Structure 1
Amino acid sequence: MNKRFLILGFFLLSALSFFSQTERVEYLPTFDNKLMHYGFYLGLNQNDFKLNLKESVVTNANITVAPTAGFNVGLIADLRLHKNLNLRLEPGLVSNSKRILFNHLTTTGKPQDSIREIGSTYLHLPLVLKFSTDRYKNIRPYILGGISYDYNFSSNESNQDDNSAGQFRMKTHNFMYEVGIGVDFYLYFFKFSPSIRGVFALNNEIKYDDDANSQWTAPVNFMGTRGIFLNFAFE
C-alpha cells in the first residue's frame, strides 16, 4: 500500500506539472507576495508502527502490524519569511486504523488474544518550513520539513483495563517529525498544492501493561507511528 501511495502521488505530480507548463497565461502573479495567507487541505494516509522488540520473558515474540488507509483534513496558516521560505501551521484531524497481530499467541492462547484492533483519531498539529524554488510559469516545486504534536483521542491511556482484559493502550501525547515534497500549481482562482510526506514518531507510544511480563507489551522496546500522507491543499 505504501508503494501505491508513492506511485499515485508521483504520477499526479507529473501530470499536473506537464499541464501547468503548457499554460501560457500566468495565474495569480502576486499570490506569493502576501505576508500571510490561509487555506485548507484534504488527504489520505497510511500509518503503521515501527516496532523494536527486546528480549524478555516472552520467548519467540513475533508481532506484526497490518495498516489500512485513512483520511486527514485540516487548515493552513502560511507566513512568508523569504521569497523562497515559508513557515506553516497546519492543524488537522487524522483518522486511521491498524491491526496488531501477536503471532506468538495464535497457538498458546484464545484467538481473540492474538489480535488487537487499533482505531485512532488524532489532533495533528504540524509546524513546518516550506522551501520553494523560484516559480516557473504556473508551477513551483518545494520540499518541507518540521515537527508535529499529536493528541490521540483514542489512546485509552487512562483506562484501568489493559491487555489482560482485552484493552490495548497507547499514550495520549506524542511528537513526530515529518518531511515531504510537493508542487504548487497556480490556477485561475486559487493555488492547488499536492504533496507527499512521511511522518515518524519521536517517542515510544505504547502504554505498557501492569504486568511486567505481559505477553503483549513486555516484548516491545519501542513502538512508534510511521506513515505516508498524500495531501491536497487549496490556498
Structure 2
Amino acid sequence: MKKLFFVLAILFIAESAVAQGFFNKERIANLENFDKRFLTWGYFLGFNNYDFKIDYIEHFADDNTEIAVNRSAGFNVGLIGDMRLNRYMNLRLEPGLYFTQRDLIFPGFEEQRDFLREVKSTYIHVPLLLKVSTKRLNNFKPFIVGGISTSLNLSSNQDNPEDNEQGRFRTTKSTNYYEVGFGIDFYLYYFKFTPSIRGVFALNDELVRDDDPNSPWTGNIDKMASRGIFINFTFQ
C-alpha cells in the first residue's frame, strides 16, 4: 500500500508540473473570489480501501502463522468545513461515514468457520486537516494535505462477551490516525470540484484479544492497526 501511495504521489507531482506548463496561458477565471472567503462548506463522495498492518509477537515471527488480509473497496460520504488561514493554507474538518469490509484468513484451520473472519466496519471518521496549496494556475490549484483524525466504529463488537471460539473477531470502538495526501482544485463555472487521494494510518492497536491468551486467532498478534487509501471527490 505504501508503494502504491508513493507511485501516486510521483504521478501527482508530474501532473502538477504538466498542468503548470499547459495552463499557463491566461483564461477566464471561474469563481475568482471563492478563495477569499473565510469559511466555505461542501460535501464529498468517494471510495476507500482499508487494510490491516499486523505485527506479530517476536517468538512467533518465524512460525507459519501469518494472517492474510483480503481487502475490498468501500464507500465514503461526508461534509466539509473549510477555514481560510491565509492565501496558501486552509484548516479543514471533514466528518464522514465510511463503509468497508476486510476478510482475515487464518492459517492452520481446515473449516471455513474457523479460518475465515469477516471484519465489517462502519466508521464515523472525523479528520482535522491542514491544506497547503500552490498559487492558483488559472482554474487549477494543486495542494497537499495532512493531519490527524479519529473514528468511531459503529460495527464494533468490542463489548461482545463472545470471542473467536464462538466465531466473533473483535476490534476496538475508536481509533486514532494520521493522514497525508494530495489533490487538485478545479474551479468550474458554478462550484469548485476537487479530486483527492489520502493515505490513512492508525496509531493505536485495534485488536480485542480472546479470553484465552494462547488463542490460535489472537495469541500471536502484538499489534493490529488499520491503514487505508481514500479517494474523495469534493463539491464546494
For residue 81 of structure 1, what is the aligned residue in structure 2? Answer: 85
For residue 72 of structure 1, what is the aligned residue in structure 2? Answer: 76
CA contact (8 A) 2:64 2:107 kept: no
1:158 lines up with 2:162 in the alignment: no
Aligned with 2:108: secondary structure?
A: helix
For residue 143 of structure 1, what is the aligned residue in structure 2? Answer: 144
Identity of aligned residues (%): 48
For residue 105 of structure 2, what is the aligned residue in structure 1? Answer: 101
Aligned with 2:207: secondary structure?
A: coil
Q: What letter corresponds to residue 88 of structure 1 in structure 2?
A: R
Extract unaligned runs of 5+ from structure 2: none
The Cα offsets for residues 50-109 of structure 1, whole Å up to 9 and x where unpaired, read as 011114689532211010000111000000011111000000001110100102334xxx
Aligned residue among 34, 37, 41 for 1:34: 37
Q: Which has the larger displacement, 157-166 or 49-58?
A: 49-58
Aligned with 1:164: secondary structure?
A: helix
For residue 178 of structure 1, what is the aligned residue in structure 2? Answer: 179
**Cα offset for 1:136?**
1.0
**C-alpha separation between the residues in 2 aligned to 1:143 and 1:117?**
34
**Cα offset for 1:23?**
7.8
CA contact (8 A) 2:81 2:93 kept: yes
CA contact (8 A) 2:51 2:71 kept: yes
**C-alpha separation between the residues in 1 aligned to 2:53 and 2:69?**
9
Aligned residue among 9, 24, 27 for 1:24: 27
**Cα offset for 1:124?**
0.3
**Distance change (3 Å), C-alpha of 1:56 and 1:115:** farther
Q: What letter corresponds to residue 181 of structure 1 in structure 2?
A: F
CA contact (8 A) 2:30 2:139 kept: yes
Cα RMSD over matched residues?
Answer: 2.7
**Distance change (3 Å), C-alpha of 1:23 and 1:40:** farther
TM-score (norm 2): 0.89
**C-alpha separation between the residues in 2 aligned to 1:213 and 1:56?**
13
For residue 52 of structure 1, what is the aligned residue in structure 2? Answer: 55
**Cα offset for 1:186?**
0.4
**C-alpha separation between the residues in 2 aligned to 1:41 and 1:111?**
38
CA contact (8 A) 1:56 1:218 kept: no
Aligned with 1:103: secondary structure?
A: coil
1:231 lines up with 2:232 in the alignment: yes
**C-alpha separation between the residues in 2 aligned to 1:173 and 1:120?**
11
**Distance change (3 Å), C-alpha of 1:161 and 1:23:** farther
Q: Number of aligned pairs?
A: 230
**Cα offset for 1:3?**
4.8
1:128 lines up with 2:129 in the alignment: yes
**C-alpha separation between the residues in 1 aligned to 2:26 and 2:193?**
15
TM-score (norm 1): 0.90
Extract unaligned runs of 5+ from structure 1: none
